Structure 1
Amino acid sequence: MATSPSTPRPCSPGTTASTSPTATSPASPPPSPPACAERSGRGGMRRWGHAHPPQVPSRRPARVLRRGGRGLAWLAEPDAVPVVRVLAADEHGLDLERLEPVPADAAAARRLGGQLARLHDAGAPAFGWAPAPRAWFGPLEAPFAVPTAPRAEFSVFWAEDRLRPLAQRTAPLLGDEGADAVEAAIAAIAAGVFDGIAGQGREEPARVHGDLWSGNVLWTAAGGTLIDPAAHGGHRLEDLALLTLFGAPHLEEILAGYEQAHPMPEGWREDLPAHLFFALLAHLDLFGTGYAADAIRTAQRIVRRAEEIA
């Protein structure tokens, strides 16, 4: 594993968790939880992240938060999984219900897995489609824009709209050999090898949270509750891959619950590096070379997996 960077894991637009994840391959986590201020209002909780100094116009965080609110509403629409409720949205941001955390347990984790499967099964209009016309990913004060053009094929959305822009921005941090490895991985994804699961079929657009690292699941009496999304139409493995990026409480139970609700082909977990690659490159872009070695190793794993299932 690479040495953990000193910068905290970013608070992405929307609500924010305050728990520090446990490391698992392929990336080491930041050593501290996201730095997040919070202010109560209208009986709910309003949160702003401050993992980075402000680098965008002061009005943008409120707009980003409001669009995050649309993502929360879209995830809540099928009533498949608990989602933090938006109480109000105005020019200052969002007011959210106050959630009381409880310890995670195996039963709640398995239940969350099944709920995520049902959320994904609710579908989306297209890959890349988002519930707001513009979308961002990253810390609240310095998110970067991501395209929301609807795509019929996962490979086009993931390779061209999400990965190539990050590969271009991070190339100087990777070195020539590392940049070549990343480009080879993107080429494998662009070829459509990961459009299905384990080389089988072709996935339809799923309704995904889009930033489902463990800190964006708040465990409450209602179970695992989703907060802080970057919601869009994506591949169902994206959310599961992000849960493995830094680890999650009772991860095996979550995955077992998912498979019970939506059976998976043998070897499906070997596809996960392709689906966490965007988040890993985003961390490299936001926080620097501490993530470079993991990004290169993950790229190499993607190429090997593509050769196995092509």
Structure 2
Amino acid sequence: MTLPESVFVKEQAGAPAGFFEVEAAGLRWLAVPGGVPVVPPLEVSPGRLATPKLSPVPPTGLLAEEFGRRLAVTHDAGARWFGVPPDGWQTDGFIGPIPLPHALTPVAAWGAFYAEFRLRPYLRQAYDRGLIDNSHLAVFDQLCARLESGGYDDPADGAARVHGDLWSGNAVWCADGVTMIDPAAHGGHRETDLAMLDLFGFPLLERVLRGYNEVHPLADGWWSRIGLHQLHPLLTHVVIFGAAYVPRALAMARKYD
């Protein structure tokens, strides 16, 4: 396939099976009418993904509010269940360089999904590598038990169509709107994407949230739960980068157990 010059190509020799293919599936799944613009995959193979090259612009309040409105539309497109992979994909995915488990059959509720598929796998890895000890694990286990008991479930809000790794580097400010790249897309909780925007700092986040609430008002007290949703990316950082992230993750777990 001959590609135009204005493309961005990611290549990785020896990439894990499905590494770029699941990213492409996620990009296609997130591209919903009226939602956040998403870079379309132009070419995908086991070691390569090509997408259009974006031209970043400075953030503005108007772009931020429009991003919020469009993100609500993307989320409202929904998913079949919590943890479901994007359409066209039938196995696990990746978040950054490490595996991301998907729920291949329906899970009862968000809390059960979050404990089983977003916390416990990374806790096991961190424990096996000696990054957390038994006393740490007891704190996380207590939180997982509360999640599994439904303590943080909202039956009124079903699975949303989420980007899954929506930190500031994966939301590019462009003249025609903020555009999403590099997803870990799945059926999840809408608050998860918003928590990721906050975790490492996103420009004009208050304006983003204003726009979001115009389309889909967030549940009462949602901001008090933001750290709960940030616990998963913190644990992935423990696995990827090491024990420096453990104190913050542990403090977060204690807040919600």
TM over 0.5: yes
1:211 aligned residue: 165
In 1, Cα distance between the equivalents of 2:78 and 2:32? 11
Q: What is the CA distance between 1:241 and its match in structure 2?
A: 0.8
Q: How much identity, in percent, do the aligned residues show?
A: 37
Alignment match of 1:181 (pick from 120, 124, 139): 139
Residue deviations 1:218-258, cap 9 Å, x none?
A: 11011110000000001111101111111101111111211
1:291 aligned residue: 245
Does structure 2 retain, via aligned residues, the 8 Å contact 1:167–1:183?
A: no
Q: What is the CA distance between 1:59 and its match in structure 2?
A: 4.6
Alignment match of 1:248 (pick from 202, 206, 225): 202
Normalising by the residue count of structure 2, what TM-score does the alignment of the two structures yield? Answer: 0.90
Counterparts of 1:1-310 in structure 2 under 5 Å? 41-43=3-5, 44-48=7-11, 58-60=14-16, 63-131=18-86, 132-140=89-97, 143-150=98-105, 151-171=107-127, 172-196=130-154, 201-303=155-257
Q: Residue 134 of structure 1 aligns to a residue in which SS?
A: coil
Q: Residue 187 of structure 1 aligns to a residue in which SS?
A: helix
Q: What is the CA distance between 1:48 and its match in structure 2?
A: 4.1
Q: What is the CA distance between 1:187 and its match in structure 2?
A: 1.5
Gaps of 5+ in 2: none
In 1, Cα distance between the equivalents of 2:45 and 2:56? 26
In 1, Cα distance between the equivalents of 2:45 and 2:132? 41
In 2, Cα distance between the equivalents of 1:80 and 1:276? 23
CA distance 1:177–1:59, change in 2 (3 Å) = closer
Name the aligned partner's letter for residue 136 of structure 2.
G
Normalising by the residue count of structure 1, what TM-score does the alignment of the two structures yield? Answer: 0.75
Q: Residue 60 of structure 1 aligns to a residue in which SS?
A: coil
Q: Which 4+ stretches in 1 moved above 4 angstroms? A: none
Does structure 2 retain, via aligned residues, the 8 Å contact 1:194–1:274?
A: no
Q: How many residues align?
A: 250
